[in-house]
Amino acid sequence: MKQKFPGLFLYFLLAIFILNLLQANFTQLLFDEAYYWYYAKDLAWGYFDHPPMVAWLIALGSVFFEGELGIRFLSCVLSIGTMSIIWVLVDHPKKRDYVSHFFVLILSMTLVHAYGFLMLPDTPLLFFTALFFLAYSYFLKNPGFLAALFLGIVMAALMYSKYHAFLVIFFVLLSNLRLLSNPYAWMAVAVSLLCYGPHFYWLYEHDFVSVNYHLFERPNRPYEFFDFTLGYIINLIAIFGLTFYWIYQALFKNNDDGLFPRALRFVAYGVLIFFLVSSFQRRVQTQWIIVICIPAAVLVYNYMLNHGQTRKWIFRMGLLNILILFFLRVGLVYEPLFPVVFETHGNKTWTKEITSQVGDIPVVFENSYRMSPMFSFYSGNISFSLNNVWYRENQYSIDKTEETVRGKRVLYVSKYLPDRDISFTMPDSTLFYGVYKDPFISYRKLRTEIINISSMDTEIPVIFDLYNPYPFAVPNDELEFGLALLDSYKQLIEVIPIKAEPSEDYSPLIASEAHRKFQFLMPELPIEEVAYVKIVISENGLRWGLNGIKTEID
């Protein structure tokens, strides 16, 4: 062990691991962590927003510990694994002389630091990106059956972590096109596809819902330089904090020879360029570029070992970064230290405020896949996110949670209720209202698709198909229909109620797994910016749902 890892390295690693365990235990959940905990309650080969790795890790960690520590335990383990792999990937005779510089470099990277104790999809993404580079370096040195098997399994694990992982694999291939003629490389691809097969099948069974959402259904807005492109540049600075100048300088000046350093550079540069281009179309989130931290850590540390001035400045500014990050880490637990109200603050308080008024009855949150799992985690109550046309689909749209609240007395929570039975305030001072519904009945999985809309003629009936996926019949008289108008960025403009009549023999019930045709006359569209329309449904007076497949209009 000490041949690869000097004693000082292991002491640092142990201290970081213990610190992360303590942080994981005493910090309340992020909303996204609660959402992935909700994933883990029903293990599957896929979920609406992401592949399943984050859910699997949460489920496994919860075997060993309860509460927040159970959710985050394996993030702490993967974090020290990531650091250890990066250390191994650095091939430099002087690296043992600068162990403290190595840890300052790694821990000064903002999100790498944070994902040392937070359990999000990017946590396994970082680990398996590092492991992928380790597998690739081994493959370059010893191409053969075992190397291909190892590389294929790691590629699958990488893709099970997050879809963005494809960029890592693609740019490594681009750095070494000779792999296309290497039979062992093709074997690695075959192994990867075989391991990833269950997720492909899950996507097929769920109508490729994740792919459709991320590529086609996600709303956007007009290009804004300051928020999109300038925001992306600010993210590039934020990801490295005060060390950003020296890290990028070292990253771009590193000219180490060989296929492996070339692969590291291709991934780092490729991801940066890919998301720069993307920033001209949509807002790029900081965590989307986090994979560059792995190749950057290897390339920059190698450069630091050869250049004293760079080593000195990254060490100095990195220590300042770490001091700031540790101050913020304390603030995640002790609220007065944090400069703003953050999402790890007060979740137990607002949850308790609700349960003290409603007891253990289920709670339905309007348009909040964030609040619903957080409430369920800290209260133990059943909860559900009822998504409508002003929001977006999520895991609650495709799983069976709706069945746990249908027909029951529930508290319906929204910011927009005209009347209320209870109210409560979130830590950021947002006021929410709750009203009892008894019984609560929703049919959010009903699906509609316009069949003929070749003309906007208001005299020609428009026909749409209504599909009932439920194992029971749905009453016609509980449904109202609306025409949702969307702009070219798929943003909702408004919903126009329509009078839809069955275009075939009338039946008061829509049978289980049956299709029913309806027709209506297209109203005059009041806004020129309308680019898409879709049919939405209000059942039992609930706000319009997310039922329809959008149809482009001329």
Same domain assignment for residues 330 and 353: no
298-309 average pLDDT score: 96
The tens digit of pLDDT for each residue in 353-398 reads 999 999 999 999 999 999 999 999 999 999 999 999 999 999 999 9
Task: Kindly tell me if the per-residue pLDDT of 519 is higher than 80.
Answer: yes
Residue where a domain stops, chosen among 387, 410, 440: 440
Amino acid letter for position 554: D
203-214 average pLDDT score: 93
Q: What is the largest CA-CA distance in the chain?
A: 83
Same domain assignment for residues 314 and 366: no
pLDDT at 5 (0 to 100): 92
Task: Kindly tell me if the per-residue pLDDT of 554 is higher than 80.
Answer: no
Same domain assignment for residues 324 and 417: no
CA distances from 158 to 119, 401, 479 (A): 16, 29, 44
pTM, 2 dp: 0.95
pLDDT at 229 (0 to 100): 95
The answer to whether position 262 is within a domain reads yes
pLDDT at 454 (0 to 100): 63
Residue where a domain stops, chosen among 425, 440, 455: 440
269-288 average pLDDT score: 95
DSSP E strands: which ranges in 7-62? none
- How would you classify the pairing of strands 532-539 and 551-552? antiparallel
What residues have CB less than 8 Å from 384, skipping those under 6 apart? 362, 363, 364, 365, 372, 396, 401, 402, 404, 405, 410
Same domain assignment for residues 165 and 191: yes
pLDDT at 3 (0 to 100): 66
- How would you classify the pairing of strands 408-414 and 461-467? unpaired
| SS3 assignment, position 128 | helix
Same domain assignment for residues 285 and 356: no
Q: pLDDT > 70: what percent of the chain?
A: 99
The answer to whether position 420 is within a domain reads yes
Q: How far apart are CA 254 and CA 301, in angstroms?
A: 10
Name the burial class of residue 142, with classes exposed (0-12), middle (13-18) and buried (19+) by CB atoms within 10 angstroms of its CB: exposed
pLDDT at 440 (0 to 100): 97
Q: Which two tokens stand for residue 176?
A: 């070494």
Same domain assignment for residues 419 and 515: no
Task: Kindly tell me if the per-residue pLDDT of 420 is higher than 60.
Answer: yes
Which residues span the domain enclosing 486? 447-552
326: closest CA among 516, 147, 95, 116? Answer: 116
Q: What CATH number is given to the structural domain containing 497?
A: 2.60.40
Q: How far apart are CA 528 and CA 488, in angstroms?
A: 11
454-482 average pLDDT score: 89
The answer to whether position 342 is within a domain reads no
Same domain assignment for residues 140 and 24: yes
Residue where a domain stops, chosen among 440, 456, 472: 440
Segment holding 423, helix H or strand E: strand 422-425
Same domain assignment for residues 278 and 376: no
Same domain assignment for residues 213 and 77: yes
Same domain assignment for residues 426 and 308: no
Q: What are phi and psi of 330, to 5 degrees?
A: -65, -40
| Residue found by looking up tokens 């999000």 in the block | 120
Name the burial class of residue 7, with classes exposed (0-12), middle (13-18) and buried (19+) by CB atoms within 10 angstroms of its CB: exposed
Task: Kindly tell me if the per-residue pLDDT of 100 is higher than 70.
Answer: yes
143-170 average pLDDT score: 97
428: closest CA among 356, 357, 369, 343? Answer: 343
Same domain assignment for residues 12 and 79: yes
Total domains, the chain: 3
